[in-house]
A and B are shown apart, each in its own frame.
Chain A
Amino acid sequence: DVKVTQSSRYLVKRTGEKVFLECVQDMDHENMFWYRQDPGLGLRLIYFSYDVKMKEKGDIPEGYSVSREKKERFSLILESASTNQTSMYLCASTSHRASGGYSTYEQYFGPGTRLTVT
């Protein structure tokens, strides 16, 4: 089974702190994603990566950066945390290659990190 793990389930940080959220997947997936989830807004894509050292902005990249130095690890960085970044953060991975030569693009999700910025 695919496993996506996130470094923390709950995190409390102060305004202005630098925050690192780590995500690791064990299925050799090329593509990894960071979402934030807020009530009534569903999942919003922050950044995604389709290869090591490659990244693309999602719908709400402001205030965030990412790092992908190894295929299995995708980090989300809040350079200077603010209270409006209090949210649930979800990491996911998928592959555009699969057995049989095609992918069904299903994303596998980690358990989420609930971040509170005070």
Chain B
Amino acid sequence: AQSVTQPDIHITVSEGASLELRCNYSYGATPYLFWYVQSPGQGLQLLLKYFSGDTLVQGIKGFEAEFKRSQSSFNLRKPSVHWSDAAEYFCAVGPYNQGGKLIFGQGTELSVKP
């Protein structure tokens, strides 16, 4: 079955520390992969996406993610976390039809300690 798993429901890191959020997917072909961020009470904003080419993709706000086909993973990283990065992060995979349906993971909530 097609699915997305974010194993960590909640992660706490210290400001200035590095961050890695995990995402594993199940998909029948080469996927389009996305990371979104949601600040409290807001909609989702796209951080980065992968659909072909270089497996290391750069996004906004200093985030990057690496597509590893052999591990069916698309982990999100940031070398130094800022307090403003505290938010919920969603990984998504698709599309499942021409309509562009995506499957979203359950999200990882990031807290940042001063």
Q: Residues of A with Cβ closer than 8 Å to B?
A: 4, 30-31, 33, 35, 40-43, 45, 48-50, 56, 58, 90, 92, 94-96, 103-112, 114
Contacts and interface: CB of A to CB of B under 8 A. Distances in A.
Nearest to A110: B43
Contact of A40 (B32, B98, B99, B106): B106
B43 A112 contact: yes
A105 B41 contact: no
Q: Looking at chain A's contact residues, is the secondary structure mostly helix, strand, loop, or mixed?
A: strand
Interface of B: 9, 32, 34, 36, 41-46, 49, 51, 90, 92, 94-95, 97-102, 104-107
Contacts, number: 66
Contacts of B105: 42
Given A50-B98, A104-B32, A109-B43, A40 B51 contact: no
Nearest to A40: B106
Q: Looking at chain B's contact residues, is the secondary structure mostly helix, strand, loop, or mixed?
A: loop
B31 to A, nearest CB: 10
Nearest to B103: A45
Given A42-B90, A42-B104, A104-B32, A96 B42 contact: no
A43 B104 contact: yes
B60 to A, nearest CB: 12
Nearest to A54: B99
A39 B106 CA distance: 9
Contact of A43 (B42, B51, B90, B100): B90
Contact of A42 (B43, B46, B51, B106): B106
